[in-house]
Chain A
Amino acid sequence: MNLERKVEILSESAKYDVSCSSSGSKRKNTKGGLGNGAYAGICHSWSEDGRCISLLKILYTNYCIYDCVYCVNRHSNDIPRAAFTPEELAELTINFYRRNYIEGLFLSSGIIKNPDYTMEQLIKAMRLLRENKGFNGYIHVKAIPGADSRLISLAGQYADRMSVNIELPTGKSLSMLAPQKNKSSIIGSMGLISTRIKEVREERKTFKKALPFVPAGQSTQLIVGATPDDDLHVLNLTQGLYGRFGLKRVYYSAYVPVNTQSSLLPAIASPPMVRENRLYQADWLLRFYGFKAEEILDEKHPNLDLNLDPKSDWALRNLHLFPVEVNKADYEMLLRVPGIGVISARKILAARRVKALTFDGLSRIGVVLKRARHFITCQGKYYGERGLNEELIRLSITNTKRTFSQASNQLTIFTEEFLGC
């Protein structure tokens, strides 16, 4: 089988992995070597679905002994199969990299023989790249859940980022749709990586020459909408993963029905992309805005509002805290105002040190006044037309945006981060 055909098969099978991040690693080039890590990450292209391409995202092989109901590569699917050799994969990566097509490699794989054997193959390919070819670009590798801890530790020495996919929000859903995977081996591998990251970080404080281990941290991904699990559950899980394992990112992937024959899966026409986006927005609130999952959702509201972003939704439920004076409010409170993001909150702090902010100045700073004006005063004046009336503000905010039904096919309002970069 020629190279092009292999790439065709093995990228087709890898496209459902959401992560495309190439950030967080400052790996330096070695003398006579090729490549380095750009800390901020670099997107190299955008595919037809609007998702960024920064890494060569590909499977080592799509032969798989598992039979996960939602997965295109499952054992019982009759699809073309292929496998790389470590040499082929390394050559391809290097040649794409030299032409500036990619920022590095995202290497995943179907399970061949058993988790250990699979992990060994991925290590072989990475070792070839790092040790024989002098490659210092970015590598994201999948830790195969259930692989021996020594293999996972070894893999982490070559990789910039590692991830174990949690796949589904609950153990129950997992045992229903991915019966050969189990929650404890997934969580076990995650724990192992997280412990090792912390250990190596300590070691490197004293021994500068200690090898780095997964310098860009670990991430995971779960599928949204394949099972009846609600958003509250997803967000609580996410919060737990950030807290317990110090994960860099949790990615959400709107369920795409690839195997339609199973009665275990919901019959849907298109992936729940708006819900996916709302989860990313809520995730941002957890990571950068100081929110707790229980502030965003509770038993009474277990799902995110599809018509309204989670921060606006929270603000409308907490109108007693508003309006806030932009010239006085502290950073934490500014961050909670719909329409003010991390960058504009910082700019507000800097700008008002020079002189009091005017309402016109706010839009120049980048505040989205359509939303923010209902929740702030500027030099004591309130600019919302409708007063602090929940229903009226809700109408005003949602009317200015696309409605849900239109938005499901044309989501152009996102920043690239929301799409999983």
Chain B
Amino acid sequence: MIVYIYDGTFSGLLTAVYEAFYQKEKPGQILKEWDYSQNLFSQPIYIYSDNDKADKVFNAIKERISFTALKNVYYAFLSETDNGDTLIYNYLKLGLKMGKYVDGNYSHETVSRLHEICKKVAREKHRMLGLIRFRLIRGDVYYASMEPDHNVIALIAPHFARRMSDQNWIIHDIKRKTAIVYNQTEWVMTELEVTQALPIDEEEYLYQKVWKTYFDKIAIRERKNPRLQKSFMPSRYWKHLIEI
């Protein structure tokens, strides 16, 4: 089977899609370089990112399919799901045939699988808007850590830039070693690894304590239902929360 391998960037993926449309050898799979391991049955073709080709695909999706389709492709790319990139390729093949109606084709397996993945990413993005917790560290910076299943950090940055526009903050994806840093004017994405304990501001402990008390007291004992709590707030997120 022919496997296209690309550098893992969005523009790399779009380049791979471009090549898949124009080259004779169609891929059975598209993979990020770190997800590929050699075996007897696969015939790898390395795709080098090319911004011009990527732009062409980007515009083709927007113009010949729809803006929604473009968003779907980006979300599916960020999902980092197994075989997600191959699914994107199949979805685009169908999309270029059907045009803007592709997303109405709910009962088609490729479309419905892609929608499912996009929904997961959108849901986690929304969850992270509520579930990240900033801690005040010395030097007047608010720091939040997270480990989302999908790579949603860039999706949530604009929300916090609008909302917490008058404070300095860092949102850190520990799993992917990336961070968004905001300085009251603009945000940038950067690589980040924290190796030692952060210098917590004294005031921080007070509000953490009060928040825990609040969290504890607001529950109605007669209605206790930890299963329900977990279904809304899965325990894999808990270690980055203050209250639990």
Query: A residues within 8 Å of B by Cβ?
Result: 3-4, 7-8, 11-12, 14-16, 29, 32-36, 38, 40, 42-54, 56-58, 92, 95-96, 98-101, 103, 134, 254, 256, 270-271, 273, 347, 350-351, 353-355, 357-358, 360-362, 364-365, 409-412, 414, 416, 419
Inter-chain contact B104/A46, CB cutoff 8 Å = no
Excluding A15-B219, A34-B167, 15 further A-B contacts by CB distance (< 8 Å) are A4-B209, A11-B214, A32-B165, A35-B163, A49-B221, A51-B223, A56-B214, A99-B135, A99-B142, A256-B223, A271-B223, A351-B105, A351-B107, A360-B107, A414-B228
Interface residues of B in 77-108 (CB under 8 A from A): 98, 101, 104-107
Nearest chain A CB to B21 CB, angstrom units = 23
Task: Tell me, yes or no, whether B62 is within 8 Å of chain A by CB.
Answer: no
Interface string of B98-139 (1 = CB under 8 A from A): 100100111101001000000000000010011111111000
Inter-chain contact A29/B163, CB cutoff 8 Å = yes
- Interface-centre pick from A57, A357, A361 (highest chain B CB count, 10 A): A361
Inter-chain contact A364/B131, CB cutoff 8 Å = no
Task: Tell me, yes or no, whether B236 is within 8 Å of chain A by CB.
Answer: no
Chain B residues near A52 (CB-CB < 8 A): 232
Inter-chain contact A256/B222, CB cutoff 8 Å = yes
Chain A residues near B207 (CB-CB < 8 A): 95-96, 99
Inter-chain contact A36/B227, CB cutoff 8 Å = no
Closest A-B pairs by Cβ, 10 of them: A361-B107, A50-B228, A47-B219, A48-B219, A49-B223, A50-B225, A350-B104, A44-B130, A351-B106, A46-B233
Chain B residues near A56 (CB-CB < 8 A): 214
Closest A residue, CB atoms, query B226: A48
Q: Complex: how many Å from CA A412 to CA B223? A: 12
Closest A residue, CB atoms, query B144: A100
Nearest chain B CB to A29 CB, angstrom units = 6
Chain B residues near A14 (CB-CB < 8 A): 218
- Interface-centre pick from A36, A44, A92 (highest chain B CB count, 10 A): A44
Chain A residues near B227 (CB-CB < 8 A): 50, 410, 412
Closest B residue, CB atoms, query A45: B243
- Interface-centre pick from A11, A40, A101, A364 (highest chain B CB count, 10 A): A101
Inter-chain contact A11/B220, CB cutoff 8 Å = no
Nearest chain B CB to A45 CB, angstrom units = 6
Interface residues of B in 187-244 (CB under 8 A from A): 206-207, 209-211, 213-215, 217-229, 231-233, 241-244
Nearest chain B CB to A251 CB, angstrom units = 14
Q: Complex: how many Å from CA A42 to CA B156? A: 13
Query: B residues within 8 Å of A by Cβ?
Result: 98, 101, 104-107, 109, 112, 126, 129-136, 142, 144, 159-160, 162-167, 206-207, 209-211, 213-215, 217-229, 231-233, 241-244
User: What would 19 A/B residue contacts be, using CB atoms closer than 8 Å?
Assistant: A4-B209, A8-B217, A15-B219, A32-B165, A33-B165, A34-B167, A50-B227, A50-B232, A52-B232, A92-B210, A96-B211, A98-B136, A99-B211, A101-B242, A273-B223, A351-B106, A353-B104, A361-B107, A411-B228
Q: Complex: how many Å from CA A353 to CA B215? A: 48
Contact of A12 among B135, B217, B225 (CB under 8 A): B217
Answer whether A361 and B243 are a contact pair too, CB < 8 Å, given A29-B162, A42-B126, A48-B219: no
Q: Complex: how many Å from CA A303 to CA B213? A: 39
Closest A residue, CB atoms, query B241: A45
Closest B residue, CB atoms, query A421: B232
Chain B residues near A7 (CB-CB < 8 A): 210, 213-214, 217
Contact of A364 among B112, B160, B224, B229 (CB under 8 A): B112
Chain A residues near B220 (CB-CB < 8 A): 15-16, 49, 51, 256
Chain B residues near A358 (CB-CB < 8 A): 107
Inter-chain contact B166/A347, CB cutoff 8 Å = no
Inter-chain contact B129/A42, CB cutoff 8 Å = yes
- Interface-centre pick from B109, B142, B222 (highest chain A CB count, 10 A): B222
Q: Complex: how many Å from CA A51 to CA B215? A: 11
Inter-chain contact B166/A34, CB cutoff 8 Å = yes
Q: Complex: how many Å from CA A364 to CA B225? A: 30
Nearest chain B CB to A419 CB, angstrom units = 8
Contact of B233 among A45, A54, A254 (CB under 8 A): A45
Contact of A101 among B104, B133, B163 (CB under 8 A): B133
Nearest chain B CB to A368 CB, angstrom units = 15
Nearest chain B CB to A6 CB, angstrom units = 9
Contact of B213 among A4, A54, A364, A365 (CB under 8 A): A4
Inter-chain contact A100/B206, CB cutoff 8 Å = no
Q: Complex: how many Å from CA A47 to CA B241? A: 13
Answer whether A49 and B214 are a contact pair too, CB < 8 Å, given A32-B166, A100-B132, A361-B106: no
Inter-chain contact A411/B107, CB cutoff 8 Å = no
Nearest chain A CB to B124 CB, angstrom units = 13
Chain A residues near B163 (CB-CB < 8 A): 29, 34-36
